[in-house]
Structure 1
Amino acid sequence: MLRLLVAEGNTLEGRRHIAESAGATPAESYAEVLRIIAPEAVVDMCAPADAGGAPPQALESYDGVAITGSSLNIYQREIESLRQIDFVRELFARGIPMFGSCWGLQLATVAAGGEVEPNPSGLEVGFARKIALTDRGRVHPMHADRDVMFDAPAIHGDIVARLPQGAIATARNAMSDVQAAEIRVGQGVFWGVQYHPEYNLHDVAAVIRRYGQALVIKGFFADLAELERYAADLSALGTDRQRRDIAWRLGLGSDILDDRLRWAELSNWIASLVRRKTSRETTK
């Protein structure tokens, strides 16, 4: 049996705001996906941004820790970010495998000595398009079953500007040279992506609605009515994935619509934990 921990990247206020539009906090949604991928796993949650946000069990009892996205900007170094940096450094020190989406990748980068900055190209909203595996990424187990180029749900305005020493970039696109990476510190191994494999279309629609007028101001939509039509299309397609008309109109393929393909990195990470756990138990 695997025991997994999902670390919420948002503050209390941030996760309440997200739950109002999405119906769940990022950690709750993430945990549900992990339970579907690995029905045998026990999945706990914690909020290391909070004072007293420790996990329900001792860290060493977990086989792996997944880190959600966040509305924080790590270069601002608020106390909520600093607590999470310390949390990830402890995970590295203990050799506990980690996976991170978006903020999770940025958090591990900074914890290991790299740099994160605002993206000079601006926001990557809704979907990260034409993500291409690097030469190292094509043979990396994190991306098993991925095509050499694919799309993925995404929402971020910050990017990894410099990876830590020894880290490898495994995917990139026109918006970011680091769309996925492996980071190692001592015995600790982190796999992370700048996109959100855990997001479904309803999650993306909620993000679009939550950003609202800000996306209109930035030119992604002509007005709020157009934004709402786009979000409604996403929600309709999320409910009925046979809506070929919507999928065609929005340019969405199986890499978005097929859960198995969209969850590839998460499934591969869990598979690596199973292999690691089995190997460890057979050598006892």
Structure 2
Amino acid sequence: MLRLLVLEGNSRSGRRRIAQTAGATPGESYADLLRTLAPQAAVDIYLGTDEGASSPQPIDAYHGVAITGSSLNIYQCEAESMRQIEFVREVFARGIPMFGSCWGLQLAAVAAGGEVGLNPAGREVAFARKITLTTEGHLHPMHARRAAAFDAPAIHSDVVTRLPADTVITARNAICEVQAAEIRFGRGVFWGVQYHPEYRLHDVASVIRRYGQTLVDEGFFADLAELERYAADLSALEADPKRRDIAWRLGLDADIVSDAIRQTELANWVSFLECK
């Protein structure tokens, strides 16, 4: 039986804040999706930010480790981040395959010797547009069945600014040079994306509402009323994916609306593990 571990990237306060708007913590949502993609898998959650926490099973009991997003900034060097860096280094050393979204990519990059910082191009909000596969990305199993260019859910202001030694960029766009990558370090291999294949439209709406006035101040919305209309449209489209009027108004195609397409990279990682 496939046994997977989800590393929850958020602190206790961050988990509580996200659950209030999204209805679940990122770790819980990630684990639920993995159970959908691999119904026979056993999936555990590890609260790696918490002092004294330990994984439910010995690390070697897991066939793969998935890492959620996080509201932390790794360059702040907070204890919650440092604990995760050490854990990811241990997973690399043991040769256990990993996959990570957003924070997960940044965490693996730093654990393997890279650097992360604020994106000089600014924040990427709601959806990363016109992500394009690199030459290596076209051939990489992480992106199997992906179009050459696509959109994906995203929310981040930090990016990988210096790559670890053994890294291949597999996707990029105008806002972020490292939208997806494979990182090899020690005995391990990490596949990661700066976007969120695990997000539903509900999650994107929750993120927008949670950031609220910050997104207005940064010019993404004219005011909170416009922000709420946008979030409400996303929630309505989540409830009824056939709402062509909303998809057209927001410029969303099947790469966002279709669960199967949106979850491509994560589903491919699970398939990779099942075939090992």
TM-score, normalised to structure 2, is 0.99
**Correspondences of 1:240-279 after superposition (within 5 Å):** 240-276=240-276
Gaps of 5+ in 2: none
Q: Which digits, 9 at most, give the CA deviation of each residue in 1:154-177, with x for residues without a partner?
A: 000000111100100000000111
Residue identity opposite 1:237 in structure 2:
L
Aligned to 1:4: 4
- Structure 1 stretch 194-203 or stretch 52-61: which is displaced more? 52-61
Aligned to 2:205: 205
Residue identity opposite 1:225 in structure 2:
A
Q: Which digits, 9 at most, give the CA deviation of each residue in 1:8-63, with x for residues without a partner?
A: 00000000000000000000000111111110101100111111221111100000
1:241 aligned counterpart, secondary structure: coil
1:216 aligned counterpart, secondary structure: helix
Aligned to 1:192: 192
Please say if 1:81 is aligned against 2:85. no
C-alpha distance in structure 2 between counterparts of 1:52 and 1:232, whole Å: 40
C-alpha distance in structure 2 between counterparts of 1:137 and 1:105, whole Å: 16
1:120 aligned counterpart, secondary structure: coil
1:177 aligned counterpart, secondary structure: coil
C-alpha distance in structure 1 between counterparts of 2:57 and 2:150, whole Å: 37
Residue identity opposite 2:99 in structure 1:
F
C-alpha distance in structure 2 between counterparts of 1:167 and 1:11, whole Å: 28
C-alpha distance in structure 2 between counterparts of 1:43 and 1:52, whole Å: 21
C-alpha distance in structure 2 between counterparts of 1:187 and 1:123, whole Å: 34
C-alpha distance in structure 1 between counterparts of 2:88 and 2:14, whole Å: 20
What is the number of equivalent residue pairs in this alignment? 276
Deviation (angstroms), 1:115: 0.8
C-alpha distance in structure 1 between counterparts of 2:32 and 2:91, whole Å: 22
**Correspondences of 1:136-151 after superposition (within 5 Å):** 136-151=136-151
Deviation (angstroms), 1:186: 2.3
2:116 aligned counterpart, secondary structure: strand
C-alpha distance in structure 1 between counterparts of 2:258 and 2:55, whole Å: 32
1:178 aligned counterpart, secondary structure: coil
Q: Which digits, 9 at most, give the CA deviation of each residue in 1:163-196, with x for residues without a partner?
A: 1001000000001110000000122000000000
Deviation (angstroms), 1:212: 0.3
Please say if 1:154 is aligned against 2:154. yes
Deviation (angstroms), 1:87: 0.4
Q: Which digits, 9 at most, give the CA deviation of each residue in 1:76-127, with x for residues without a partner?
A: 1011100000000000000010000000000000000001110011110000
Please say if 1:44 is aligned against 2:63. no
> Percent of aligned pairs with the same residue?
69
C-alpha distance in structure 2 between counterparts of 1:138 and 1:274, whole Å: 22
Deviation (angstroms), 1:275: 1.4
Residue identity opposite 2:133 in structure 1:
L
Aligned to 2:69: 69
Aligned to 2:125: 125
Q: Which digits, 9 at most, give the CA deviation of each residue in 1:197-254, with x for residues without a partner?
A: 0000000000000000000000000000000000000000000001000000000011
C-alpha distance in structure 1 between counterparts of 2:229 and 2:265, whole Å: 30
Residue identity opposite 1:256 in structure 2:
I
Gaps of 5+ in 1: 277-284
TM-score, normalised to structure 1, is 0.96
Pairwise CA RMSD of aligned residues? 0.5
Moved over 2 A (4+): none
